[in-house]
């Protein structure tokens, strides 16, 4: 008779940014609920944003690498993460490594696992923008992770088709939805409104709330400054609009925000919010303007219209659902779409009642279901190779 699967399976889950932790949290909980061995490695890119979230989501922090240095290059970050991971892999000898998305930590985690001949599962596999340099470096990261990964957990059927077109074996692709929906629904059920969020909503209660986030490297410099100028002018023209901008800690973003928005009435520059508060803010918004990939998944889950500050998207489902519209990098296009959203045009002010393209909140269960089947298959193959047969 076979022993418990937990005794033979050790899964290393690697993350370093807040979005990774948000999406991995329900998977880690599901693994723990099924008594599987879990080891977590936190590379620590978003240390200040991440620590409170780990506590909230009850994620263990077995290894904390603290790799961030002021103004370090991507190459320096990459080398730093890889050098820290090697002894962890040697010590823990995991059976399976889970990485999520397209960050540098995900890519280096997959590379380290490959070096140690460890099976790799990629959550949120198959996203493609069509331009390998945009978003940078995420688009190339996700393409390289596909080449390294053994198993691919795709959020949508479109992602699955992309992977198949690139030569990934169909039997190694599993369509599961995106666990960000699991986390969002979990937090909405569990977390009451904080005092900080209540005060922010009270201070901005007189009109329509426009929530802005921007942090992508390809938008740094003149592109970001142009976007912020357009948004400032829009707020000035419309007295019933309040803009709320949780400013990313990246110095380039903070410099741009302070240069354009400081001293403006009805523009709130605030520190990043805890994830439950951020979801609460989005749920009370009139319109979201963002270059975030995660928000393209959260907006359909919340039924909130979104303008995407990018030229392309690896999540076309958000646009196809009618929730989101692509802005591109032309300031006049942002201005035009803001005005269309403000005026009663049906295609921009009414949220379509469509099924969430990113899942129904059961992605973690589907991912772990597939992992259990993989472990069962590997365990059976191992027993057979040693001449052991079940009775």
Looking at residue 55, what is its pLDDT? 83
Looking at residue 192, what is its pLDDT? 76
Looking at residue 391, what is its pLDDT? 35
Looking at residue 348, what is its pLDDT? 44
Which candidate in 215, 238, 325, 379 is catalytic? 215
Residues 110-119: tens digit of each pLDDT: 999 999 999 9
Which candidate in 20, 102, 298, 314 is catalytic? 102
Least confident of 70-74, 166-170, 182-186, 291-295: 70-74
Is 217 annotated in the active site?
yes
Is 215 annotated in the active site?
yes
Is 124 annotated in the active site?
yes
> Is residue 353's pLDDT more than 60?
no
The answer to whether 315 and 290 have CB atoms below 8 angstroms apart is: no
Please indicate whether the domains covering 5-178+359-385 and 194-349 agree at the CATH topology level.
yes
Looking at residue 4, what is its pLDDT? 45
Is 138 annotated in the active site?
yes
> Is residue 50's pLDDT more than 90?
no
Which candidate in 248, 284, 310, 315 is catalytic? 248
Which candidate in 20, 30, 92, 124 is catalytic? 124
Measured distance CA(51)–CA(181) in Å, rounded: 21
pLDDT top residue among 331 and 243: 243
Residues 304-338: tens digit of each pLDDT: 999 999 988 999 999 998 999 999 888 899 999 99
Is 248 annotated in the active site?
yes
pLDDT top residue among 281 and 6: 281
Looking at residue 217, what is its pLDDT? 76
Looking at residue 385, what is its pLDDT? 52
Residues 55-82: tens digit of each pLDDT: 888 888 899 997 777 777 889 888 889 9
> Is residue 388's pLDDT more than 80?
no
So what's the architecture of 194-349 in CATH?
A: 3-Layer(aba) Sandwich (3.40)
Residues 3-34: tens digit of each pLDDT: 444 446 899 999 988 889 999 999 999 999 99
**Exposed, middle or buried, 229 (CB in 10 Å: 0-12/13-18/19+)?**
middle
Domain ranges across the chain: 5-178+359-385, 194-349
Q: What percent of the chain has pLDDT over 70?
A: 91
Reported confidence tier of residue 374, pLDDT bands at 50, 70, 90? very high
The mean per-residue pLDDT over the stretch 178-205 comes to 91
Per-residue b/e over 134-170, b at no fewer than 16 CB within 10 Å?
Answer: bbebbbebbebbbebbbbbbbbbebbbebbeeeebee
Query: Half-sphere exposure (CA, 13 Å, Cβ side) for 341?
Result: 29
Is 311 annotated in the active site?
no
Least confident of 193-197, 336-340, 376-380: 376-380
Reported confidence tier of residue 344, pLDDT bands at 50, 70, 90? low
Least confident of 140-144, 264-268, 284-288: 264-268
The mean per-residue pLDDT over the stretch 167-191 comes to 93
Measured distance CA(218)–CA(221) in Å, rounded: 9
Looking at residue 71, what is its pLDDT? 76
- In this prediction the pTM is 0.86
The answer to whether 266 and 285 have CB atoms below 8 angstroms apart is: no
CATH 3.40.50.2000 is held by the domain 5-178+359-385: yes
Q: Which long-range contacts (CB under 8 A, 24 or more apart) does 19-22 make?
A: 19/101, 19/103, 19/180, 19/293, 19/294, 20/100, 20/101, 20/103, 20/105, 20/106, 21/50, 21/53, 21/54, 21/57, 21/59, 22/53, 22/57, 22/180, 22/183, 22/275, 22/294
Looking at residue 3, what is its pLDDT? 43
Which candidate in 47, 217, 229, 329 is catalytic? 217
Looking at residue 349, what is its pLDDT? 45
Which candidate in 138, 277, 297, 314 is catalytic? 138
> Is residue 390's pLDDT more than 50?
no
Mean pLDDT of the chain: 89
Looking at residue 135, what is its pLDDT? 87
């Amino acid at each position: 008779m076979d022993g418990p699967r937990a005794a033979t399976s050790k899964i290393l889950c690697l993350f370093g940014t807040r979005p990774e932790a948000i999406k991995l949290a329900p998977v880690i909980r599901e693994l723990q609920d099924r008594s599987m061995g879990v080891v977590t490695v936190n590379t620590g890119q978003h240390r200040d944003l991440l620590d409170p979230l780990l506590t909230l989501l009850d994620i263990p922090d077995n290894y904390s690498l603290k790799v961030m240095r002021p103004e370090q290059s991507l190459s320096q970050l990459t080398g730093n993460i890889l050098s820290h991971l090697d002894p962890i892999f040697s010590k823990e000898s995991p059976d399976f490594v889970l990485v999520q998305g397209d960050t540098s930590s995900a890519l280096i985690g997959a590379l380290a696992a490959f070096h140690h001949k460890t099976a790799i599962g990629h959550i949120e596999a198959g996203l493609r923008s069509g331009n390998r340099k945009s978003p940078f470096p995420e688009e190339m990261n996700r393409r390289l992770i596909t080449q390294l990964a053994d198993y691919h957990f795709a959020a949508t059927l479109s992602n699955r088709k992309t992977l198949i077109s690139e030569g990934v074996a169909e039997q190694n692709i599993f369509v599961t939805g995106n666990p960000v929906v699991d986390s969002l629904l979990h937090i909405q059920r569990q977390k009451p409104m904080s005092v900080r969020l209540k005060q922010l909503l009270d201070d901005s209660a007189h009109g329509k709330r426009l929530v802005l986030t921007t942090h992508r490297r390809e938008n740094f410099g003149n592109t970001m400054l142009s976007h912020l100028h357009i948004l400032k002018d829009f707020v000035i023209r419309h007295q019933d609009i309040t803009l709320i901008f949780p400013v990313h800690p990246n110095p380039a973003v903070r410099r741009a925000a302070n240069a354009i928005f400081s001293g403006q009435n009805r523009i709130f520059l605030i520190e990043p919010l805890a994830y439950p508060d951020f979801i609460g803010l989005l749920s009370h918004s009139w319109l979201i303007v963002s270059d975030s990939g995660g928000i393209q998944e959260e907006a359909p889950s919340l039924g909130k219209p979104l303008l995407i500050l990018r030229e392309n998207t690896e999540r076309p489902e958000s646009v196809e659902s009618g929730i989101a519209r692509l802005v591109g990098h032309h300031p006049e296009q942002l201005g035009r779409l803001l005005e269309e959203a403000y005026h009663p045009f049906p295609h921009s002010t009414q949220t379509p009642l469509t099924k969430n393209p990113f899942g129904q909140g059961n992605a973690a269960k589907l991912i772990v279901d597939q992992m259990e089947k993989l472990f069962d298959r590997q365990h059976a193959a191992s027993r057979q190779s040693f001449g052991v047969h079940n009775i």
